[in-house]
Chains A and B, each alone.
Chain A
Amino acid sequence: MDLNHLHLDVDRTIITAQPGQTVLEACLSAQLDLPYFCWHPALGAVGACRQCAVKLFNGPEDHTGQIVMACMTPATSGMRLSITDPATAQFRDRVIEFVLTNHPHDCPVCDVGGECHLQDMTALVKHTQRRYRFTKRTHLNQDLGPFIRHEMNRCIGCYRCVRFYRDYAGGDDFGVFGANRNIYFGRATPGTLESEFAGNLVEVCPTGVFVDKPFATRFRRKWDMRATPSICPHCAVGCNITVQEREGEFRRVVNRHNAALNGYFLCDRGRFGIDFIRSPARLRRSTQRDAQGPGTPVAIPAATAALAELLRTNNVIGIGSPRASLEANAALRLLVGPAHFYAGVSDHDADIIATAITILRDAAVPIATPADAAQSDAVLILGEDPSDIAPILALSLRQSAQRPTSEALAIRQIPAWNDSAARRSAFGSPTPLIIATPMSTRLDDCATTCHRIAPAALLTLAAAIKTQLEHPSPADPTAIAATLRRASAPVIVVGGDSALMRAAANIVTTLRRKGIAARLSILLPEANSLGLGLFGAPPLSAALAAIQTGTAPHVIVLENDLHRRCETGPLEGTFHRIASLSVLDCIETPTTATADLAIAVGSFADADGTTVNQEGRAQRSFKAIFSTDDAPPSWHVLRNAGIAAGRLDATAWATHRELIDAMAANIPDLAACRALWPHTHDNIMQRPATLPHRYSSRTAVNAAANVREPPPFTNPDSPLGPTMEGLMPRSGLMPHVWSPGWNSVQANLKFPSAAEPGVMLFPTSACIPTELPLPHPPPPAPGILALPIRRVFGSDELSNLAQAVASRVGGPILRVNPADAATHGLSAGTRVDCTIGTTTVRRAIALDPAMAAGVAGLTIGVQGEPGLPLPGSLTITAIHPGEPS
């Protein structure tokens, strides 16, 4: 008998369970159908809904048994249970009947009809008849902002929403009001839900109370949409998503469970930002400059030919992009040659990315996944606020901070799944979360200590922590080292500065040397920052320098708005010298607007592609949107141009796989991406089907235009089947679950996918990482040091184009401490001109009482603004009252 497993007798069948599991988890893992509402794998159990009742027998002689809640009962070996027991089954039926007394039964017009956990559970208990014959109570709905529509009458009172929003995600503008059957879940007053995780309510709610608002405007039933596994393009965490479409139109994004990364949740930038692919700012057609000027439409073949023409000059430089896939960047690099390929990022970003690579690859510092972060027993955040840069990582860090220590649980004999009791145990004995940043962060509310220090002092602090770890001395004012030393799996999160990153890596190394399983988490700016960095290309400034010195080259820019990358002066000062500018992009940008050749290519959802997240995890996303007028992926255009120009032979990169092979041959760091090619079958029947088998009107969808049934779309690059024929694999490739009783997003709780984990390019080894030399600190800059503030809504280029996200973007601000503001005669809300380098931008003053003196934070990524040389020294000029702001 396997000692690591528990054996339970459920209705005379022996099932196995993991120690620490509840009866509910054990039954679901054993694929038994046991309904539930209030339980959620990430939220734990509270025993409120009473839906998961089972009969528990006290030994073999007990024939009466006792009804218990499976979610609140720890699984123990030898336990005898029954799900089918008639009295228990009847009770489960009644619970459904109870919660339906106030439910409107509006399934036909409900947004989650067909993928509703309440429907599923009703079907599971085989409940058919409702006897309640009195008036239902009704509620008024609230306006909850651009992301979520409120339909309170559908509420069945499971409390999951408030447990997620408030307890799990730390949101404070949502709650439960009233008592008895008059409980109400919403805000104190109508208004936009402020948490950037609000969108998860759509999936956390077992029925249709919280509705995806943008999706509702282009609604289709779940069974009528194609579902494709994908990767969120909005930050370097690389959350796993599922993209859904119908009739060639993007419909919505839902979470795709990945235990290591996003688990069951996404941030709202990921969920709602992808609407950018429907934005009016999409580059819909390619254009070319002719005698009349730029902007004359040109078909793709002609555009490709024009590109080939340029390639033939042999005087081409290529500028890659951290928002383009590895494939696109690789293709451009292969075409223009490594010597002419540049990473289209600022010097600062390039420095950070290069340092991250040094830490990951050369020093082999073990990296923390968000899941590691959630489980860590001490966290130190150095330099930057992860809340805006890597929201899902911040959500994980919050879980660590809100978790009681294991001693606190042990002393009370409370299992971690007992959510309310566990949370109470954290009172007075929180898990350490130490934040050392120049400005306040949105994790401060759950931190045990916050230090507000300027960047230079941060470096000193990091070095001091390392020294303290090596030579503990009683005089340790911050006690950070002592806290880290007491932990068994601490996580250090660092970002914003390459020297600080090195120092943080050295802390991890020192802890590792002491036998403490510390891990590092590095904040990187964009979805494929690390992937682009692995090509080892010099930054944008090097490209500009090259242009300045050589004969005027033809420049090909890949999916990049260079105006966001550097100041206008240097860019224009250089670009007027070039022979021509060609841009491949899926959106209109100031860069495409000035291009001689602007080629409309597919977005991440129109093409297969690979990105490398901040952990060094390479992940594949697949073409998710199929329509007859699809824009080609960048690498197709580049390949065709390369062939036409004679740079590639006619058979080169005929498939995605061949491109990956070519890339791997050139860039050894990316060789592991080959393993990402999942098993595929020529036999379409053996592929995961992206269309559900209830997909309706397949043959009639285009009937208005053409009664002939179109052939199914094909995508030779993808392991997924384009039609409804195929498999439903239990893996991250599973496009959707369609199974009796399990049709909601909750189904992944019963069918936990062995989520496609991607490939770790720098797998963690057990050996001690290498210590890194620290650079000499730069001389202090004169005046105020301005640091960039990246905001979850507003700083990311693509998501800003999504209508709903755009409406959440706050005005640009300059954050200063009140004392510094006073010296400059500024108060909150004052409009000021901020000059950094040669650029002046307008900001409103926001006071941050905790902010380190002499430091200011400047929101970046503001639409229409050039890239700012940040960090940098800042000059503030107050605007005179009369001036327009």
Chain B
Amino acid sequence: MSIVETQPPLDPAERTEIRNLLRHSPTARAAAIDALKLVQQRRRYIADDILTEIAHLLGLPVAELDGIATFYNLIYRKPVGQTVILLCDSITCWITGRDHLAQHIERRIGIKPGETSTDGRFTLLPIVCLGHCDHAPAMMANDVLHGDVDPATLDAMFDTTPLP
């Protein structure tokens, strides 16, 4: 937890969207995951202060919302890079060489799973089976699914992604 980053408070648009979620949700709690995802979509991760703000908006205790946020894989409580590479590490992708891809990523941009490149462009995270086993190895990069990934696919991504 060495990286400490602060984010500006929720803006009116975000607040309105969360209130809308609340209006359409049977309980405030049931809107919690959607609210976290909504904010994360814009800010890439959920900083502590933001989590507190969201909790207040939802009327949930902060500890409760953080308990939810830290339970799920796709809510990031620490800063992530501009592109989050979710590289599947489940069985079929493992058979078909995902470890080599991970090594390639480390060689090319110097990050291991769980790390963010120093230029802030990429974060590598392992993910469970993406349901793309017929095109293993698979990965998701910023919500785009890639199949039959090979070093060339990765290189193309590394070469074309601009600095943030």
Contact = CB atoms under 8 A, between A and B. Distances in A.
- In the complex they form, whether A and B have CB atoms below 8 Å apart is answered with yes
Interface of A: 166, 172-179, 187-189
Across the A-B interface, give the 3 residue pairs with the lowest CB-CB distance, nearest first. Answer: A172-B61, A175-B63, A175-B67
13 contacts: A166-B64, A172-B63, A173-B63, A175-B63, A175-B67, A177-B67, A177-B70, A177-B71, A179-B71, A188-B48, A188-B51, A188-B62, A189-B48
Given A173-B63, A177-B66, 8 more contacts: A166-B63, A172-B63, A173-B61, A175-B63, A175-B64, A176-B67, A187-B63, A188-B66
A179 B63 contact: no
Contacts of A166: 63-64
A173 B67 contact: no
A172 B62 CA distance: 8
Q: Max chain B CB contacts within 10 Å: which of A175, A187, A188?
A: A188
Contacts of A188: 48, 51, 62-63, 66
A188 B48 CA distance: 9
Contacts of B70: 177-179
Nearest to A184: B70
A42 B154 CA distance: 56
B interface SS class: helix
A815 B122 CA distance: 52
A166 B67 CA distance: 12
Nearest to B51: A188
Nearest to A182: B70
Contacts of B66: 175, 177, 188
B48 A175 contact: no
B74 to A, nearest CB: 12
Nearest to A179: B71
A189 B47 CA distance: 13
Contacts of B64: 166, 172, 175
A189 B51 CA distance: 12
A78 B59 CA distance: 49
A637 to B, nearest CB: 51
Contacts of A179: 70-71
Contacts of B63: 166, 172-175, 187-188
Contacts of A178: 70-71
Nearest to A177: B70
Contacts of B71: 177-179
Interface in B57-105: 61-64, 66-67, 70-71
B60 to A, nearest CB: 9
B127 to A, nearest CB: 15
A176 B64 CA distance: 8
Nearest to B62: A188
Contacts of A172: 61, 63-64
Contacts of B61: 172-173, 175
Interface string B18-62: 000000000000000000000000000000100100000000011
Q: Max chain A CB contacts within 10 Å: which of B48, B51, B63, B64?
A: B63
Contacts of A176: 67
Nearest to A189: B48
A166 B63 CA distance: 10
A389 B67 CA distance: 32
B31 to A, nearest CB: 16
A176 B63 CA distance: 8
A177 B67 CA distance: 4
Contacts of A189: 48
A504 B146 CA distance: 71
A840 to B, nearest CB: 37
A175 B69 CA distance: 12
A172 to B, nearest CB: 3
A173 B66 CA distance: 11
Nearest to B65: A188
Interface in B89-143: none
Nearest to B52: A188
Contacts of B67: 175-177
Nearest to A162: B67
A178 B72 CA distance: 8
Contacts of A173: 61-63
A209 to B, nearest CB: 16
A684 B153 CA distance: 86
B114 to A, nearest CB: 13
A636 to B, nearest CB: 51
Nearest to B60: A172
B65 to A, nearest CB: 8
A837 B146 CA distance: 78
Nearest to A174: B63
A704 to B, nearest CB: 48
B139 to A, nearest CB: 22
Q: Max chain B CB contacts within 10 Å: which of A175, A178, A187, A189?
A: A175
Contacts of B51: 188
Nearest to A140: B1
Contacts of A177: 66-67, 70-71
A191 B47 CA distance: 18
Nearest to A180: B71
A217 B67 CA distance: 32
A613 to B, nearest CB: 33
A228 to B, nearest CB: 37
A173 B61 CA distance: 7
Nearest to A427: B27
A187 B62 CA distance: 9
A172 B52 CA distance: 13
Nearest to A176: B67
Nearest to A173: B63
A142 to B, nearest CB: 12
B157 to A, nearest CB: 29
A176 B65 CA distance: 10
B39 to A, nearest CB: 16
A549 B99 CA distance: 97
